[in-house]
Amino acid sequence: MNLISKTKQLLKTKYDSLHSNPRIKNNFLNAVPFWSGAFITGVTAVLYANLFSWAEEGTHYLYLRAPWSFFIITPLCFLLALWLIKHFAEYARGSGIPQVTAAIELTNPKHNYKVNKLLNLKVLFIKILSSLVMVFGGGVVGREGPTIQISATIFKKINDFLPAWYPKISRRNMIVTGAAAGLASAFNTPLGGIVFAIEELTKIHFSFFKSALLTGVIIAGLTALHFLGPYLYLGYPLLNDIPGWVILAIIPVAVMTGVGGSGMGRVILYILKKKSALRKKYQQYIYVIICGLIIAALAIFIDHRTFGSGKEIMVTTLFTGNKQLEWYIPVLRIVGPIVSFSTGAAGGIFAPSLSAGASIGAVVAGWFHLAGPATNLIILCGMTGFLTGITKSPFTSSILVLEMTNSHNIIFYIMLTALLANLVANLISRHSFYDHLKDQYIREIHLQEMQENKLQAEVK
């Protein structure tokens, strides 16, 4: 009873303190929406990760028993995934990161209502459903980009639900924190979430919302940690006794992945531009059927590792003795995302990019006849370089790879790869894949507004 009395007295003291000190009360009220959003984000990210994993396992199960069925399953799944986007939530398509960056740019009193088109509950549910259908059908997509849009939507909706009397909270800060928390919970990489917010989302000083950002990332990460346990996205690869001359292998890997990542983004953008010229719906659906047949054919006739996010390739090459890959695996892991992403269905490109980089690293390591630990290093460098090539975010790519494998002892090699890959990628395109898509979404929203205003004027 004495303990209960002390607890009651402590709670009463805290309550009185909040009411007697307006500043403490205001700070507490400001923090609650961020904490609530971070907790919901963590739970949602865990549920989505499990569903995504089950969908990939379902693909593998069916492939072992009836591989030829994917000539029907894959096109049908691609069609259904696109149909969901077209009929329910147009802005749920693709990765989700460009939508978030566009929402951040549009978040001001003049354009706030436009943000609702990019981040709303319908987009959230369709994003999850469409991406699950895609990956079950063998689509080469990931869940990390979608998790970022889902999390940003959760934080935005919490901001929308705040009553009028509540202390004013910046919607932009909420969206940025939500996106960072989403990445942190998807990869279990809190530092990666913070660096991603600074380097990719805001590209400005973040002093005005650094506390909210830090607590949001921490709570979302701890929530995911509570449900999934102390895990790493990949694991602890062996990285001891690495020879100094391994840098001779890192340089070509950095160049190849920089070209590969940036080039893959350019090809996807080119196809999307050409595809936009298909004005009739049946033409777009025919294109999607062809994409499904291409993915099925590559998996059945060449290698089943064409399917899915590619996490299996990363885990196998890093943690088993089977570290060598055939020369065509990197080609499949680059062609797969190009075909899958260009359908217009939901699905991210983070994990497919990492697996493409890992496969390039494994092939190059085979050329140099490297031992296990050195091969692991080259694979991690390949992952960093390819992700840098497509995102143009070298720090985010480096921190993500280091955190998801707890490999901080190789930070010099990882940073060197990111730097070289970024330099090479800039020669191909000065803007990142996400920046191009962000600009496209903003143009689409402005065009829709103009068309709506024109229709209203004609009615009047």
Question: Which pLDDT score is estimated for 383?
Answer: 96
Question: Which pLDDT score is estimated for 110?
Answer: 73
CA distance 39 to 99: 22
Three-class SS state of 348: strand
CA distance 282 to 42: 39
Most confident among 26-30, 203-207, 285-289 (mean pLDDT) = 285-289
Weakest-pLDDT range from 159-168, 193-202, 282-291: 193-202
Statement: residue 215 has pLDDT above 70: no
Q: What's the mean pLDDT when you consider all of the chain?
A: 86
Question: Which pLDDT score is estimated for 234?
Answer: 65
Cβ–Cβ < 8 Å for 422, 388:
yes
Query: Which single residue is written with the structure tokens 């942190």?
Result: 184
* pLDDT tens, position by position, 354-371: 999 999 999 999 999 888
CA distance 186 to 455: 42
Question: Which pLDDT score is estimated for 18?
Answer: 52
Which residues contact residue 195 at a Cβ distance below 8 angstroms, ignoring those fewer than 6 apart? Answer: 395, 396, 399
Would you kindly state where each structural domain of the chain is located, as residue ranges?
Answer: 31-228, 244-441
Weakest-pLDDT range from 5-9, 34-38, 366-370, 433-437: 5-9
* pLDDT tens, position by position, 249-276: 999 999 999 999 999 999 999 999 998 8
Question: Percent of the chain scored above 70 by pLDDT?
Answer: 86
Which residues contact residue 177 at a Cβ distance below 8 angstroms, ignoring those fewer than 6 apart? Answer: 34, 37, 38, 155, 197, 209, 212, 213, 216, 217
Higher per-residue pLDDT: 433 or 19: 433
Statement: residue 206 has pLDDT above 50: no
CA distance 238 to 233: 15
Question: Which pLDDT score is estimated for 411?
Answer: 83
CA distance 260 to 258: 5
Statement: residue 459 has pLDDT above 70: no
Question: Which pLDDT score is estimated for 103?
Answer: 92
Burial class (CB in 10 A: 0-12, 13-18, 19+), 369: exposed
The answer to whether domain 31-228 and domain 244-441 are alike in fold is yes
- What is this structure's pTM? 0.86
Quick one: average pLDDT of 383-402? 91
Cβ–Cβ < 8 Å for 143, 48:
yes
Which fold would CATH assign to domain 31-228? Clc chloride channel (1.10.3080)
**Model confidence at 346, in pLDDT bands (50, 70, 90)?**
very high
**In CATH, what number does 244-441 get?**
1.10.3080.10
CA distance 118 to 113: 10
Quick one: average pLDDT of 298-321? 92
* Partners of 142 in beta bridges: 348
* pLDDT tens, position by position, 65-84: 999 999 999 999 999 999 99
